[in-house]
Amino acid sequence: MHNTTGYIIKFTVALTVLAGLALSGMFYATEPAAKRNEEVFNKRAILSSIASHLDKPLAQMSDEEVLQIFKDKMEQKVVNTKGDIIEGAIAEKISMKAESKKNEADMELPIFTYKGKDGNINIISIYGNGLWDKIWGYIALKDDNKTIVGAAFDHAGETPGLGAEIKDNPTFPASFIGKTIFDGDTYTSVKVVKKVTDPKHQVDGIGGATLTSDGVSEMMVRGIKYYLPYFQKHKK
């Protein structure tokens, strides 16, 4: 009985070790593919803010085409809140979730410059709070860094059919196109409101999703403001 018990214990330990080795091997074998999928997913999200400026619909692009755009037509830079370019930093490596936890003076901000048929477009990243969880977005600006030419939003847990419409309803991000973030030399951003009274600097909120709309508005005002020192130093 004693020997049988010992054998069972040894067999169980050996089986556990073998299973662990197998799982470890599977993890390392699939890790490169998982990283590539994440990279492509993030790059598609960035490109979604300039979907109307791409040579073909984003949904019809292969992963290879998405990666090729970033190789051939996208310039990346990272700036600080003083407007200085951080040498050696790579925009796509910046996590706005992590940056949002830093003091403003220590934040690093990504800028993606798309060099397309319509001229250069600067894409900036913003991050904020919705009703239930975090929300974020990419805002595409003309090279003058004043006029919005595209936008894309996403969320971690907004209500389907309500707050989730910031992503799911294409008319919402499209409503930002053509708006300006300045009135003359005064920064205004673009606010989300119940009733538009200033068409150049406001868009309609989402019905039934007031708090999510307010979150987008606050995120726009604060998030774009971080980039103003850079815009000022590189004024066209």
Query: Residue 25: what pLDDT?
Result: 64
Interatomic CA distance for residues 44 and 59, integer angstroms:
9
The token duo for 211 is 């708090």
Do 111 and 77 touch, CB atoms closer than 8 A? Answer: yes
Interatomic CA distance for residues 200 and 59, integer angstroms:
30
Identify the H or E element spanning 129. strand 119-129
DSSP 48: G
Interatomic CA distance for residues 136 and 193, integer angstroms:
18
Query: Residue 103: what pLDDT?
Result: 97
Interatomic CA distance for residues 109 and 166, integer angstroms:
23
Query: Residue 18: what pLDDT?
Result: 72
Phi, psi of 36 (to 5 degrees): -65, -40
Residue type, 96: M
Query: Residue 22: what pLDDT?
Result: 62
Query: Residue 50: what pLDDT?
Result: 98
Answer positive or negative: Cα dihedral of 54, 66, 189, 89: negative
List per-block mean pLDDT (blocks of 10 residues) for the chain, which spans 236 residues. 64 68 62 86 98 95 97 98 97 97 98 94 98 98 97 98 97 98 97 97 97 98 98 86
With CA atoms as reference, report the closest residue to 92 among 36, 133, 34, 176. 36
Interatomic CA distance for residues 171 and 30, integer angstroms:
38
Residue 111 C-alpha from the chain's centroid: 11
Query: Residue 32: what pLDDT?
Result: 75
Q: Coil, strand, or helix at residue 228? A: helix
